A and B are shown apart, each in its own frame.
Chain A
């Protein structure tokens, strides 16, 4: 029986100012990813007694020596039956310093789309490497996709150090290889940690078996990772989601534009443009429920009032008049194709959903296809199959206000929808628009 863990030392009654860090991790069945996550949940006291009892039972039934922490992250029955993870699972844990959402994704090449999905909302990537096997194709693929999806912070966990005799030189060479690979992509924040997820070394506690590593342990690193920057560095963007027009006497003339701040800071008095048409006006009020506020920053959900009666509708974007985005009818983008039914071909017609706007698009050109194993681009490609990534040029039926994905995830990303099936069939990251 596992002893009941201690309660969170945080004072639950005080105001909770803990920030959130979103992580994405990918891996295959045998690199110890589930064990690591189980260890994080267990050692950070996020495991409940009844969950522990359930996995103790399962471990016993399956004739295993130890309690297998990997069962903590077990998912759907279909996955258990096949012994694999096929879908993104979201895990939640917190420490007295921070709250975490971890997107746990399968790492195999046939699940690239799940990896892309998990990475799309993450601030940092947790890369797991088996010390005995070193940096694999899958590690590079995960790192590459994380970078493509805009993640600029990598945490490299060199796992199973117990199986290589806690050998520092092995850790050093893996770290050097991955750091070099990341640097080639322009990712300079790589933190490497030697761990044993199974035994807990350097996961939450310091390890006496690897005194050559100065720390901090993984959890402490995650608690202190600075994965963001102030919104002042970006131009303001507010995609209009919904028009608020209360049909009640008290607010007879109220007309507000509701949306989620995508980037920058929007202040009362700011000169703004309404995209894509570009008409200029001034922000006269910002409401967040029953009290007006003076400025809005991402990802606040607000309602903005403007000085002039303009044509503003869902899909319009309220933006900084000084630094407006491009109203594009043609975009170049990296697209990850996700349809099992059909490949993406030139001259295909699809629906693009970008922020709150949907419009039709024509595939004008498939310029290159990435080989996710060698990470080379095949310039002769003319179609993308399931899980393939390529450089694609789309022509849009209506102009869309876009920024490069590198500058803004929110206004640089889109999804592709197949009109015949209504399915989401692609994820796009804009490189340029015109």
Chain B
């Protein structure tokens, strides 16, 4: 027996990340009473769900999955979501932003730039209360955004769902502290250490099915703020925002109101991975209008209880 404390490097990075993610998911399932996995049908949550499937095999995933549905999603993503949940025989909960609006919990923004993005937070927190969840798995990655670069893997939310970045628990080794005080819940992020390219390479390696909007396809688009948005009933167009046909794909799955597409010919997983590896613009910078409001947009939304 030699004296060293370092980690054997026998595993490639993807296998290492996979093992870490499974470890995190099992810790949460073991230490918390009522976890739930947030599943949007987007690529990150697809990978996370795969890790959950692996973590408990041959048993079924021992918790429900939940989608916060703004009502403005891509229909392709919704179809995929339903199919995948059925395949895994997991319980799928849908928390509806439309219902929150109908019940007067939130007030819908108006105008051509209206988005339900911020409203999701209320719907999410209401659902957490309703179902009594004490842990939510989220697919957020630290490479996405600077506020996330500092977020813990077990991230605590107070009774108001708020994140306090200046008061995070130290997180050492792979020893996660899942103890809650009253009213708190945790957000657990098994993909914290993944990069966008890791996610794509993993999807490719595992041959995971993903919604069709990730591949290049013909779609009616319009240009706004230098980005290309899909034409939909949810977004009134401003004068001069004339629709045109383009061959696009989407790098993220969000609301049709705030998710931009990129011109692309990549219609296979191989070509998508090649394109991601070569890209020089961050995923959020290129395609998420919701992060562009201010330098600290994500930090602010996270404080309020956003994903």
Residues of A within 8 A of B (CB): 4-5, 7-8, 10, 12-13, 15-20, 22, 48-51, 54, 74-78, 86-92, 94, 99, 101, 113-114, 116-117, 120-121, 123, 150-153, 227-231, 233-235, 241-242, 244-248, 250-251, 254, 258-260, 287-290, 297-301, 303, 314, 323, 338, 351, 353-356, 405-410, 412-415, 417, 421-424, 427
13 contacts between A and B (CB under 8 A): A12-B277, A17-B12, A51-B282, A78-B165, A150-B4, A242-B56, A289-B53, A323-B1, A406-B3, A409-B6, A413-B173, A413-B175, A415-B170
Q: Are B19 and A75 in contact (CB under 8 A)?
A: no
Q: Is the CB of B285 within 8 A of A407?
A: no
Taken together as a complex, chains A and B put the C-alpha atoms of A86 and B282 apart, in Å, by 25
Known: A242-B56, A407-B5. 10 other contacts (CB 8 A): A18-B12, A92-B193, A116-B172, A123-B7, A241-B27, A258-B55, A409-B5, A415-B170, A415-B175, A422-B179
**Which residues from A are CB-within-8-Å of B30?**
241-242, 314, 356
- Contact mask for chain B residues 56-85; partner A; CB cutoff 8 A; 1 contact, 0 none: 111110000000000000000000000000
- Distance (whole angstroms) from the CB of B182 to the closest CB of chain A: 10
- Answer yes or no: B181 CB below 8 A from chain A CBs: yes
Chain B residues positioned under 8 Å from A246 (CB to CB): 58-60
Q: Which residues of A contact B168 (CB under 8 A)?
A: 87
Docked pose: A197 CA to B30 CA in angstroms: 45
Flag B150-184 by CB within 8 Å of A: 1 or 0 each.
10000000000000011011111111010111000
* A250–B29 CA distance with the chains assembled, in angstroms: 23
Partner pick for B58 among A78, A251, A354, A408, CB 8 A cutoff: A251
Instruction: Say yes or no: B20 contacts A299, CB within 8 Å.
Output: yes
B149 interface residue (CB < 8 Å to A) = yes
Q: Knowing A75-B146, A89-B150, A287-B57 touch, does A117 contact B285 (C-beta < 8 A)?
A: no
Most B C-beta atoms less than 10 A away, residue of A8, A87, A405, A414: A87
Contact A230 B8 (CB under 8 A): yes
Chain B, interface size category, equals 35 or more
In the bound complex, residues from chain A placing their C-beta under 8 Å from that of B119 are none
What distance in Å separates the Cβ of A91 from its nearest Cβ neighbour in chain B?
A: 7
Which chain B residue has the least Cβ–Cβ distance from A323? Answer: B1
Majority SS at the chain A contact face = loop
Q: Which residues of B contact A290 (CB under 8 A)?
A: 57-58
**B38 CB to closest chain A CB, in angstroms?**
21
Assembled-state Cα–Cα distance A77/B54 (Å): 38
Q: Are B177 and A422 in contact (CB under 8 A)?
A: yes
- Is the Cβ of B172 less than 8 Å from the Cβ of A120? yes
Task: Report yes or no: B170 in contact with A114, Cβ–Cβ below 8 A.
Answer: yes
Residue of A nearest to B3 (CB): A406
* Contacts known (A18-B13, A78-B165, A412-B5); A12 close to B177, Cβ less than 8 A: no
Tell me if B9 and A227 are in contact (CB < 8 A).
Answer: yes
The 5 closest A-B pairs by CB, nearest first: A150-B5, A50-B285, A12-B277, A246-B59, A301-B22
Contact string against A for B residues 229-258, beta-carbon threshold 8 Å, 1 for contact and 0 otherwise: 000000000000000000000000000000
Say yes or no: B12 contacts A244, CB within 8 Å.
Answer: no
On whether the beta carbons of A48 and B282 are closer than 8 Å, the reply is yes
Give A328 to B287 CA distance when docked, in angstroms: 54
Q: How far is the CB of A274 from chain B (nearest CB, A)?
A: 17
A75 to chain B, nearest CB (A): 6
Within 8 Å of chain A (Cβ to Cβ): is B143?
yes
Say yes or no: is B107 at the interface (Cβ < 8 Å to chain A): no
Q: Which of A48, A245, A254, A417 contacts B179 (CB 8 A)?
A: A417
CB distance from A57 to the nearest CB of B (A): 10
CB nearest to A355 among chain B residues: B175
Query: Of all chain A residues, which has the CB nearest B175?
Result: A415
The answer to the question of B270 belonging to the interface, with a C-beta cut-off of 8 Å to chain A, is yes
Q: Which residues from B are CB-within-8-Å of A87?
A: 150, 165, 168
Given contacts A120-B173, A406-B3, contact A49 B299 (CB under 8 A): no
> Bound state CA distance, A407 and B3, in angstroms?
5
- Are B9 and A48 in touch, CB under 8 angstroms? no
